[in-house]
Structure 1
Amino acid sequence: MNTRFRDTSEQDRPLLTRPKRWPWLLAGGAVIAAVLALTMGGRLRQALSTDAAVSTARLSIATVDYAPLTRDVAGEGRVVAAQSPTLFAQGAGTATLAVKAGDPVKQGQVLATIDSPELTNRLAQERSNVDALRADLARAEVEARQQAAALQSAFENARIDQQTAQNDLARQTQAFEAGATARMQVERAQDALAKATLALDQARDLRGLKTDSLKLDVQAKQSALARQQLLVAELQRQVAELNVRSPVDGQVGQLFIADRTNVARDARLLSVIDLSALEVQMQVAESFARELQPGMPGEISGNGQHWAGLVSSVSPEVVNGEVSARLRFDGRQPEQLRQNQRLSVRVLLDKRDKVLGVARGSFVDESGGSYAYVVRGGVAEKMAVKLGARSLDRVEVLSGLAAGDRVVISGSDNFKGADRVLMAD
């Protein structure tokens, strides 16, 4: 029996020798490094040449292009009456109201009455003066006719005396020529004729002067009567205005006094709202108000409806940085509107079809419109620009930018005024 001892020869196996890989890995790493160096070199150079780096996610970028530009002013307005006259007391006295706030009224309707004893008494006195002056005028006219008749009679008597003296001179002259009388009689007749002629001339002149004087006296009386009649007419007008009447058809707005109140002259009594002519008043920022002009087209909307409008007036006063502007309806006025109703208002300032511009953003206010950041090759470069007209969503570019340029319109405050900023993903 052969006895064999087991050894480890059966457990041993030859080990395979693996090829060395590290040279290949080294070569591959070198190739990758070279590729990365080529691709990242430009990026690295950009990063080194910029002043800062900002994430693109924090920015808004828009493209410069040609598009329509519509400039308008939009806001909220309220319906107001185009005419809302305030009525005042035309004299001092006790005011009695005939209407209440909110009552509908017609033009010419009496709204209040003022009892003014002082004014009514003065009217009665002046009327009495008119009667007195009318009597004086009538008396002056009668006296003028009497004196004119007396002057005419004196003139006729003087004319007759002159004719008599002339006839007597003729008889005396014939008698002297016939030798029946002395020359003295002829001379006496001549003297009598001269005296009669002088008396006639004086009567004629006196009649003319006195007639003119009488006419002036009558005219003075007539002028005094006319003046007094004008004064009475003015007082009658003031007394008639003590009945305060509505100047328009509408509605009583606000009462400034209570019924049976003693008021002074020119005191406010009440206001009347003309509901037949309504306008829409809106507040406009002072910067836009400079461009608003009466007659500009606008649009008024509310309750799902739209109406065309026109700017009717722009207030010359600035209050808290705003200006009041009013729009009237261009066409028939809607019937369903009410006083102080809120409506949306839009006023068209300018409209052009093809304008080089970019979307409006915070860069307009941040830079004051003097520069913008243009994105080129992953870098935002600060460029000097000149901006023009501005609307709510676009701004016109006058110089510094071209169509196709990409501009940072918001978020540029993160650049801190740097000239070049790297756009990091």
Structure 2
Amino acid sequence: MIPDTSAQDSALPTSGPRKKRLLFAGILAIAAATGIGFQFKHTVNGGASYSRSRLTTATAEIGDLTRDVSAEGKVVAASAPTLYAGSGGSITLSVEPGNPVKAGQVLATITSPELVANLAQARSAADAVKSAWLLAQADTRLADASAEAAVQTTELGLASASNELARQTRAFDVGATSGLTVEQSRDAVARAKIAYEQAKKASTLKNDATRFELAARRHAYERAQLQVGDLERQQEELSVRSPVDGQVGQIFVNDRSTVAKDAKLLAVVDLSKLEVQVQVAESQARELTAGMPGEISGNGGQWRGRVSSVSPEVVNGEVSARLRFDGAQPEALRQNQRLSVRVLLDNRAKILRIARGAFVEEGGGRWAYVVTGDVAVRRPIRLGAQGMSQVEILDGIQSGEEIIISGSELFKNAERVQLIK
């Protein structure tokens, strides 16, 4: 048999190293218990703990608050009319984009055979109506003469019958004639009087009828003249003229092409009157009104401005507004050039203010965390006017108190938190 090595084995001493391992484990247990106790103490005294490095604080103070709106704007022409075709036809352009033009200068000409034909027909119709009106005037004068002659004839007959009655009456008085003759003469006078009255009435009625007829003819002629005038205006508009002094902007049609009525032709830019157009957020545009003062800066210069108009329409959450230069317009400005704009909304002096932060949007600005030592306590507040960088405090915070303006969303609305370095 081969002998084993059991005779060579010997027991090692265990008292020293084992005691060291037990001592190290005890130290770890004591340290863990101490940490738990420390954390428990902080939890009991101040709630959850957060590092100050993750928070932004500010101190409330008395000072001035300026509320304004700042935005980037672009230079636009205050007057940039777009010209349209008054009639359809073939267009011939006389200018190119960028050409300087004067008010009244012909920029393009439209040839419209249809309009020319309509104008000729309207003029011919107006001449025919005028001839009918003149003929009616001549007929009226002839009718007036006939009526007047009839009145004069009946008047002469009445006078003759009256004279005859007078002679027969004198003859009857001296016995030279019979009473029957006198009665016959009296009847003749009565008939002559009736004829005279009827002639006068007929003349009056005839005058009324001819007056109405002449008025109708005159109105027809005036309508024909209005049609001619409208077509002449349309023909005049075939020569497209510049309404202002300026430069030709964009041209929307090709030379020698056919355009329809009311088609967009070209734009003219009046560079003598420039404005700055800005896009303002809907929430800030609510307080913008025409006439508010502002500042325009760019190209190393700064100029005073004034809000000239505010669009009533909201597009993509923004409102378009325009500022005009208050005073002399600066030189060397170009269309669509970028400038900075600042509009002053309000200026309040000696109020309690604090730097603006995320706490304004969180909870609608109804509460904030006030820092006292290493503890932050949630406190209700009331805000007033709000500027771009500062807000007014109406209630809940005293001057000199420190509040957390950013980062408090980590607290998850806890009433009290502990702050650590």
- The equivalent residue for 1:17 is none
- The equivalent residue for 2:179 is 183
- The equivalent residue for 1:124 is 120
Alignment of 1:19-418 (within 5 A): 48-418=44-414
CA-to-partner distance for each residue in 1:208-265, whole Å, 9 max, x for gaps?
A: 1112212221121111111111111111111111111111111111111001111111
CA-to-partner distance for each residue in 1:271-290, whole Å, 9 max, x for gaps?
A: 11111111111111111011
Q: Secondary structure at the match of 1:138?
A: helix
**Whole-angstrom distance in 2 between the partners of 1:107 and 1:221:** 41
**Whole-angstrom distance in 1 between the partners of 2:325 and 2:416:** 53
Q: Normalising by structure 2, what TM-score? A: 0.88
Distance 1:206 1:153, change over 3 A: same
Q: Secondary structure at the match of 1:140?
A: helix
Letter in 2 for 1:107: A
**Whole-angstrom distance in 2 between the partners of 1:296 and 1:195:** 91
CA-to-partner distance for each residue in 1:177-235, whole Å, 9 max, x for gaps?
A: 11111112111211211111111111111111112212221121111111111111111
Number of residues of Structure 1 aligned to a counterpart in Structure 2: 385
**Whole-angstrom distance in 2 between the partners of 1:154 and 1:421:** 120
CA-to-partner distance for each residue in 1:325-379, whole Å, 9 max, x for gaps?
A: 1111111111211000000111111111111121112222334312111111321
**Whole-angstrom distance in 1 between the partners of 2:55 and 2:289:** 38
**Whole-angstrom distance in 2 between the partners of 1:361 and 1:202:** 102
**Whole-angstrom distance in 2 between the partners of 1:112 and 1:207:** 60
- The equivalent residue for 2:31 is none
**Whole-angstrom distance in 2 between the partners of 1:332 and 1:357:** 37
Deviation at 1:113, TM superposition (A): 1.0
Deviation at 1:291, TM superposition (A): 1.3
The structure with the larger Rg is 1
Deviation at 1:55, TM superposition (A): 2.1
Q: Secondary structure at the match of 1:122?
A: helix
Letter in 2 for 1:165: A
CA-to-partner distance for each residue in 1:72-102, whole Å, 9 max, x for gaps?
A: 1112110011121111111111111111111
**Whole-angstrom distance in 1 between the partners of 2:311 and 2:204:** 68
Deviation at 1:417, TM superposition (A): 2.6
**Whole-angstrom distance in 2 between the partners of 1:417 and 1:160:** 119
Deviation at 1:46, TM superposition (A): 6.0
Q: CA RMSD in A?
A: 1.8
CA-to-partner distance for each residue in 1:125-184, whole Å, 9 max, x for gaps?
A: 111122112211211111111111111111111111111111111111111111111112
Q: Secondary structure at the match of 2:180?
A: helix
Letter in 2 for 1:334: P
**Whole-angstrom distance in 2 between the partners of 1:413 and 1:185:** 133
**Whole-angstrom distance in 1 between the partners of 2:65 and 2:265:** 51
**Whole-angstrom distance in 1 between the partners of 2:260 and 2:365:** 59
**Whole-angstrom distance in 2 between the partners of 1:210 and 1:331:** 71
**Whole-angstrom distance in 2 between the partners of 1:363 and 1:154:** 105
For structure 2, the 5+ residue unaligned runs are 1-38
- Whether 2:415 is the aligned partner of 1:419: answer yes
**Whole-angstrom distance in 2 between the partners of 1:91 and 1:214:** 41
Greater mean alpha carbon deviation, residues 317-326 or residues 271-280: 317-326
- The equivalent residue for 1:4 is none
Greater mean alpha carbon deviation, residues 340-349 or residues 215-224: 215-224
Q: Secondary structure at the match of 1:111?
A: strand
Deviation at 1:44, TM superposition (A): 9.1
Deviation at 1:298, TM superposition (A): 0.7
Letter in 2 for 1:284: V
Q: Secondary structure at the match of 1:48?
A: helix
Deviation at 1:319, TM superposition (A): 2.1
Greater mean alpha carbon deviation, residues 54-63 or residues 107-116: 54-63
Q: Secondary structure at the match of 2:365?
A: coil
**Whole-angstrom distance in 2 between the partners of 1:286 and 1:191:** 99
**Whole-angstrom distance in 2 between the partners of 1:211 and 1:224:** 20
**Whole-angstrom distance in 2 between the partners of 1:320 and 1:188:** 105
Q: Secondary structure at the match of 1:373?
A: strand
